[in-house]
A and B are shown apart, each in its own frame.
Chain A
Amino acid sequence: SYELTQPPSVSVAPGKTARITCGGNDIGSKSVHWYQQKPGQAPMLVIYYDNDRPSGIPERFSGSNSGNTATLSISRVEAGDEADYYCQVWDSASDHRVFGAGTKLTVL
């Protein structure tokens, strides 16, 4: 089955740019979606189709996807961005949806 690899944690100072990676075999050929989950809450979609933002998501959130790595970037990080972030793809070979293990973003 298809696997996605995320770093367990990323730390960033307020106002800086956070980058969270999601690795997978030829992930650049797939569409990657990103979710934010704060403690005690349901996940929320923040990026879909690699780099599209749902309405209401700040422009500070962006994504890229090429080769074997997709990246979620959060510019001008705020304390409120502290959360777990999950990448997700649809694996056409198995017709399964797959999540990464999640990355905890800490704002210093």
Chain B
Amino acid sequence: QVLLVQSGAEVKKPGASVKVSCKASGYSFTSYAINWVRQAPGQRLEWMGWLNVFNGNTKYSQNFQGRVTITRDTSASTAYMELSSLRSEDTAVYYCAAEGNAFDHWGQGTLVTVSS
């Protein structure tokens, strides 16, 4: 079955960067686009960006433009999301989601805490 396994929780200081990984299994990695979605504590889901896994093309939310980079390593069936210039408001659970018909499959989430 399709499985997306994300890297573990991170604690970062303001101004630092974080890179979260999302390892896919159970399907051909290039068959689904990968999206990244975050959720601050008690808040709504927020779309961050999209990756065409086949050709590497990306699209980012204007809310994160310039701070977020989504990449992939097809040999490792893994997608990555890097967020820079972290601030306390970036404390959230970050999810990867494989997009076929919709966000069909989700990773378990990675808690990123930004604190001095």
Residues of A within 8 A of B37 (CB): 43, 99
B103 touches A45 (CB 8 A): yes
Cross-interface CB contact of A45 among B35, B62, B95, B102, cutoff 8 Å: B102
A42 touches B108 (CB 8 A): yes
Alpha-carbon distance A49/B107, docked complex (angstroms):
22
A52 touches B101 (CB 8 A): yes
Question: Interface majority SS on A: helix, strand, loop or mixed?
Answer: strand
* Chain B 83-116 per-residue mask, 1 if CB under 8 angstroms from chain A, else 0: 0000000000001010001111011110000000
Question: Interface majority SS on B: helix, strand, loop or mixed?
Answer: strand
Interface size on B, residues (CB 8 A): 20
Chain B residues in the interface with A (C-beta under 8 A) = 35, 37, 44-47, 50, 59, 61-62, 95, 97, 101-104, 106-109
Which bucket holds chain A's interface residue count?
20 to 34
Offer 26 A-B interface pairs, CB within 8 angstroms, sorted by A: A1-B62, A33-B102, A42-B108, A43-B45, A43-B95, A43-B97, A43-B106, A44-B106, A45-B103, A49-B101, A86-B44, A86-B45, A88-B45, A94-B62, A95-B59, A96-B59, A96-B62, A97-B35, A97-B47, A97-B50, A99-B37, A99-B46, A99-B47, A100-B44, A102-B44, A102-B45
